[in-house]
Amino acid sequence: MAMGAHAEGWLGAAERALRAAPSTGLLPAAHEVLSTYVQASEVTVLLADYGLSVLQPITRLPHTGDHVAVRGGAPAGRAFCAEAPVVEVTAEPGTVIAHLPITVRGDRLGVLSVRLPEPAEGAPGVLELAAFATALGHELVVADRDTDLYLQARRRRRLTLAAEMQWQLLPGRGLSRKEFTVGAHLEPAYAIGGDNFDWSTTDDTLTVTVTDGQGHGIDAALLTNLAVSALRNARRAGVSLEDQACLADQALYAEYGGRAYAPSLLLRFDLETGHAEAVDAGSPQLFRLRGDMVERVVFEAQMPLGMFEETDYSHQSFSVIAGDRLVLVSSGVHGSPSRDGNAYGERALKETIAATRMSSTHEAARALVDGLVQFHGGYDLPQDAAVVCLDWHGRPAG
């Protein structure tokens, strides 16, 4: 159903009601709005947990109700994975449940489930409800600045302190623009230590980094926090990619004197042309899927950030074209050893990348981590694992 003037009117009023609600009152505000405008009898907000394995319904904050598996066929799980609305027909005549993905600029947060009468002609439809779910997502992101309630509701168990530091450092787990789509994942989600990813865009560029802080626990988290903060500080000063690496290298060496270091891969893309620059400062690796061919993109290896004093870095150039998929992985993925000493390795990575070429960036990143988990026989991974999947669409002519 196309969105008409009536829909625009109720959506405007609904968005104003969300903005006027206190940070802790978004769920009751959503229920009141939807019961008024679409006669909803039940409204549930389900947030994805840190491991992206379940959706946890918020009941009485900060507690949650019984979770819904992301995979397994549940309608809410299908809506989350497909990033598209799913309408569930209920046993109650004339009643449906609309499951609507909650996303913010390509970052998946969860699902809004609304039980309501089957829409009659002229009543708000699925597209309007999906727009409301997006508005709710934006308010959830803003609310996280003021309250811990929604962060608590995402947790199946307590995060380690190192994991708390790492998740607070991340930019999100996805980003979408007309030129590209990014999806990313970390494991072990509740005990991550040193691995991290970061990105930032301007009107003309996209910068992506993967940092592989050495060590475990708090020591690794502190190291990575310093590395990522130094890279951001240099990037925001407007210096070149190689100078960003140099300044971060100096910051780490000044603090640790070479005793600890942070292997990193820095990439910057020109959104107009697809021209890209890379600084390979350590162990993260880059793979490219072009058509049916998966290959590792190899750069000149340079010293990890912070290993030596006043290291000079240089960039190398490559290019991407519309339809390319790039996958960045930390050493905890490509070099992760099994119990018998064999590494997960390049072959397994290439096979998984090829097998998931029709999946979204989010699902492809998750599949790579799932393959690693299966390789080890459980989520108790011996090393941190970070995966970033980037689909390049290119900038349309004109």
Q: For 127-157, how does the pLDDT look when each residue is reduced to its tens digit (9 = 90+)?
A: 899 999 999 999 999 999 999 999 999 999 9
Residue 232 has a CB neighbour count (10 Å cut-off) of: 18
Query: What pLDDT is recorded for position 345?
Result: 76
Enumerate helices (H) and strands (E) in the chain, giving the number of each: 11, 17
Answer yes or no: is pLDDT of 4 > 50: no
Query: What pLDDT is recorded for position 374?
Result: 81
Q: Above pLDDT 70, what percent of the chain?
A: 92
Looking at mean pLDDT, say which of 197-206, 361-370, 377-386 comes out highest: 197-206
Query: What pLDDT is recorded for position 181?
Result: 98
132: Cβ contacts below 8 Å, ≥ 6 apart: 11, 14, 15, 30, 33, 34, 100, 112
pTM above the 0.95 mark? no
Query: What pLDDT is recorded for position 214?
Result: 87
Answer yes or no: is pLDDT of 212 > 70: yes
Q: How far does CA 128 lie from the centroid of its chain?
A: 25
Helix (H) or strand (E) holding 88: strand 86-89
Structure-token match 């609507």, residue found: 100
3: confidence class by pLDDT, cuts 50, 70, 90: very low
Q: Which residue has the higher pLDDT, 70 or 331?
A: 70
Tokens of 6: 């009536």
Q: 3-state class of 214 per DSSP?
A: coil
